[in-house]
């Protein structure tokens, strides 16, 4: 049985179109999942229906998150924000965390999980190390160190990997129930996970664009957790 994984879609404010890069869909299909897109519609009844349908959720990459959600004023370095996505994804993530539904947050999605749990973000990374690569999306740009005895380390069975990087915001203070599972050489948090759920994981890179075994194993781990959830709930 292929579990059904919901992926939050983007919303283009100028063209009023829902959209999503095909990398996400293809990665989940290869890992053994089925896919449904979740348009950012801020209606509580519809969000509840999304959660009843899905055995797991992916929060994908995208633009900056409005610092309003963690009580800060916008800095000069803040990039373009998408209020419709912010509101929808944070509400959805809060319910996912509360219900311990399997979830994978990617880049912006990692940050969404942290903010939904009550954490904060750096509005702009201020270190000497680059985190926005000027290279092909599938190019591994920098190393990260993975902490032992974490969900991430068990999923890919490695203590260090190279990842791509396309972000200037990053996790600052952890949300409730979250812990750090990987860091970059400059100390920037590269992955977080829930201590209280079987599989809620956020990674700061884009594994859907990579072709290495570790990236494939991340999606396979999500699909396994979603399948376990499907078996447990009988859906």
The SS3 of residue 178 is strand
Q: Which residues are catalytic?
A: 107, 206, 208
| Residues found in the chain | 235
Angle of CA points 7, 9, 13, to nearest 5°: 165
CA distance 15 to 227: 36
Whether the CB-CB separation of 161 and 215 falls below 8 Å is answered with: no
Q: Which residues of 39-58 are buried (b: 16+ CB within 10 A; e: fewer)?
A: ebeeeeeebeebbeebbbbb
CA dist 103 to 48, 96, 131, 138, Å? 16, 7, 24, 23
CA distance 111 to 101: 17
Question: 144 - beta bridge partners?
Answer: 161
Helix or strand (DSSP H, E) at 82: none
Q: Which of 62, 48, 37 is nearest to 91 (CA)?
A: 48
């Amino acid at each position: 049985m292929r579990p059904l994984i919901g992926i939050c879609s983007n919303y283009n404010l100028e063209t009023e179109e829902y959209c999503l890069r095909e990398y996400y869909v293809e990665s989940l299909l290869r890992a053994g999942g089925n896919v449904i897109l979740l348009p950012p519609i801020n209606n509580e009844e519809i969000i509840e229906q999304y959660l009843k349908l899905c055995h797991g959720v992916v929060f994908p990459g995208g633009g900056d998150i409005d610092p309003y959600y963690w009580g800060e004023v916008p800095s000069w370095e803040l990039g373009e924000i998408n209020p419709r996505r912010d509101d929808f994804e944070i509400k959805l993530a809060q319910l996912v965390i509360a219900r311990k539904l399997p979830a994978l947050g990617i880049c912006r999605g990692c940050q969404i999980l942290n903010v939904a749990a009550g954490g904060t973000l750096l509005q702009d990374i201020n270190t000497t190390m680059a985190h926005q690569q000027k290279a092909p999306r599938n190019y591994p740009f920098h190393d990260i160190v993975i902490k032992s005895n974490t969900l991430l380390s068990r999923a890919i069975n490695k203590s260090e990997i190279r990842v791509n990087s396309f972000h200037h915001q990053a996790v600052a203070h952890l949300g409730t129930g979250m812990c750090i599972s990987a860091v970059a050489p400059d100390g920037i948090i590269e992955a977080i996970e829930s201590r209280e759920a079987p599989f809620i994981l956020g990674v700061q890179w884009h594994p859907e664009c990579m072709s290495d075994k570790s990236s494939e194993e991340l999606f396979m781990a999500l699909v396994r957790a979603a399948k376990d959830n499907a078996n447990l709930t009988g859906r």
